[in-house]
Structure 1
């Protein structure tokens, strides 16, 4: 565990000043899932809580979604692009990069017209957004950057095997982005602390076995099937509930909050049963949970910023709210964050009303 707690007033802190999310236009309802999977709407909702998920069209990449979400976040912050060096760094969290090399962040910065800023990727699977948020907070706190753009984007539909019902009903595509600036600890929007952890002994519980250096160095051991996503659902359920619960409890203690202090609880949108189990164990009252998995499915690293954007757009997040985030993903990795919600300007709805993502 790596706990990063609260600091005294006047200390540098990362402060949230922009937020947005987007999903691709293609909405796939439970009734539109492949007939060979043997599912129906009631079956999927009962097991996952999902009614609709969004999948990209052919030719649309993770980078395309990242550009759209990032631009929306910049627009929501009303940041003047003509200002001198308005953004110092770009961090992208993803498990589905456009290519193994180079990292996505430099190209994203280029497509956004941000110039020669520092840019790098974070690979922590579904915990990626919290890890990227912690990285950005550290860079700001160290005085390296004044303003950092954090983007989480996934195109999980490209990893699903055609016959994999268990993953196919759950995983989806989307992107979310936040803009952070340097501010003071305790001011509205400030990120107060983190708890991060991992357990590499569980690396095979959630994986894409092929496609990396391991497969290239021993090609006789791998097939095309190894390029698809695999997950041991029962084991993952237990780990996810345990890790997110413990991480949340440790962070609450570290920042000096009780459960009653939490105004909004936002967990990685894995499935409805995991969300319910974690909420009961912390325990945060159900009316304080933020969830949108029914509309977007499990979007990996993008799930928390998408849920935040949904809640902000609908008015469920208000200035001054004490917000607890928690996540769990492949690796195994997990992480939690605590922040005070800022007085943001209008946050655009998480939809596809503007059409397909901007092209390069």
Structure 2
């Protein structure tokens, strides 16, 4: 019966560009050093898209890997959702370019701009479309080419961010199947929008020589305020998910948090007395990849035998907006 369906994660995939920007490389570009970066963030390196790679190109590689993992063809997909703040163009949507490159014809394709929470927003939206019976298989992608928006003279931001893509195929679960999305809990607080922002390029400050001269085409961040609000919002969203599903922290096999800063991750885990041994940390390899962060870390954890089918997983993120959210799922 329509409205009684559940959704599951049927396939996962990810992609990291080949070029690596290490902390040692950054030492030559900005006043910083490897020890300082590792101690304060946990990041050791990040991957950088090649000059001929757009966000949609990263999406397509991750998407094909997810489709293969799900044992589905492009023709089986009913909808494409792309979480990104670094789309190929201001318009049209990056999802439309992904659709064309995959050869998926006449299906819904749209971008979601929720920054680092974008993938969770996408999974939640896909879950709703499947629950209502409207669609059976939805491709959800989180992808960013953040390196194009970095000021490599600003150590507040350039040490943190990298490029990458992760994708899930969300599918209708069979009747009685327990490996499903249990619930999602999403939020936003626009009063804090100025804490992490890319000022130029929109209708308020169109791209211009003046904007570029002022550096407004680069991302800016108020790090201390972001840290404080990240811990608060992710911990609150996790608590909401646990209470909604009547699940105790010890019943969760893994937390997969947004990979922004190891200190933030440790602070969130500490709120629940949750051991770091059961928290997926992959940012040492990727840096902060925004919407790609969670699916990249999830895919890595599955491939390395940490996350297994049947386990209970708690996802949580925060991002510019400020957006935040959590999802509890049985993988």
TM-score (norm 2): 0.95
Number of the residue aligned with 2:310: 320
Number of the residue aligned with 1:27: 20
Number of the residue aligned with 2:102: 112
Number of the residue aligned with 1:45: 38
Q: Is the 8 A contact 2:127 2:181 kept in 1?
A: yes
Q: Is the 8 A contact 1:126 1:301 kept in 2?
A: yes
Q: Could you tell me which of 292, 299, 314 is aligned with 2:289? A: 299
Determine the C-alpha separation between the residues in 2 that align with 1:304 and 1:323. 12
- Please give the secondary structure, in 2, of the residue aligned with 1:327: strand
The 4+ residue runs of structure 1 with deviation greater than 4 A are 217-224
Number of the residue aligned with 1:349: none
CA shift at 1:142, angstroms? 1.5
Kindly indicate whether residue 129 of structure 2 is the aligned counterpart of residue 139 of structure 1.
Answer: yes
Change (3 A) 1:186 1:27: farther
Determine the C-alpha separation between the residues in 2 that align with 1:217 and 1:230. 16
- Please give the secondary structure, in 2, of the residue aligned with 1:166: helix
Measured against aligned partners, the alpha-carbon deviations of 1:110-138 in whole angstroms (never above 9, x if no partner) come to: 11111111111111000000000001001
Measured against aligned partners, the alpha-carbon deviations of 1:17-65 in whole angstroms (never above 9, x if no partner) come to: 1001111000121111152412222111001101111011212111110
Determine the C-alpha separation between the residues in 1 that align with 2:151 and 2:261. 19
CA shift at 1:220, angstroms? 7.1
How many residue pairs get aligned? The number is: 329
- Please give the secondary structure, in 2, of the residue aligned with 1:102: coil
Number of the residue aligned with 2:65: 72
Number of the residue aligned with 1:227: 217
Q: Is the 8 A contact 2:200 2:207 kept in 1?
A: no
- Please give the secondary structure, in 2, of the residue aligned with 1:290: coil
Number of the residue aligned with 2:266: 276
- Please give the secondary structure, in 2, of the residue aligned with 1:116: coil
Q: Is the 8 A contact 1:21 1:175 kept in 2?
A: yes
Kindly indicate whether residue 89 of structure 2 is the aligned counterpart of residue 99 of structure 1.
Answer: yes
Change (3 A) 1:165 1:284: same
Determine the C-alpha separation between the residues in 1 that align with 2:214 and 2:56. 24
Determine the C-alpha separation between the residues in 2 that align with 1:194 and 1:153. 20
- Please give the secondary structure, in 2, of the residue aligned with 1:67: helix
Determine the C-alpha separation between the residues in 1 that align with 2:9 and 2:302. 13
- Please give the secondary structure, in 2, of the residue aligned with 1:270: coil
CA shift at 1:283, angstroms? 3.0
Unmatched tracts of structure 1, length 5 or more: 1-9, 342-360
Please say which of residues 52-61 and 291-300 is displaced more in the overlay: 52-61
Q: Is the 8 A contact 1:21 1:305 kept in 2?
A: yes
Q: Could you tell me which of 97, 113, 136 is aligned with 1:123? A: 113
TM-score (norm 1): 0.88
Kindly indicate whether residue 229 of structure 2 is the aligned counterpart of residue 236 of structure 1.
Answer: no
Number of the residue aligned with 1:159: 149
Number of the residue aligned with 1:204: 194
Q: Could you tell me which of 165, 190, 195 is aligned with 2:180? A: 190
Determine the C-alpha separation between the residues in 2 that align with 1:123 and 1:150. 13
Q: Is the 8 A contact 2:269 2:275 kept in 1?
A: yes
Kindly indicate whether residue 158 of structure 2 is the aligned counterpart of residue 168 of structure 1.
Answer: yes
- Please give the secondary structure, in 1, of the residue aligned with 2:230: helix
Determine the C-alpha separation between the residues in 1 that align with 2:27 and 2:112. 33
Change (3 A) 1:221 1:20: closer
Unmatched tracts of structure 2, length 5 or more: none
Determine the C-alpha separation between the residues in 2 that align with 1:255 and 1:200. 28
Measured against aligned partners, the alpha-carbon deviations of 1:79-100 in whole angstroms (never above 9, x if no partner) come to: 145xxx4110000000100111
Number of the residue aligned with 1:358: none
Determine the C-alpha separation between the residues in 1 that align with 2:163 and 2:176. 34
Determine the C-alpha separation between the residues in 1 that align with 2:24 and 2:60. 30
- Please give the secondary structure, in 2, of the residue aligned with 1:304: helix
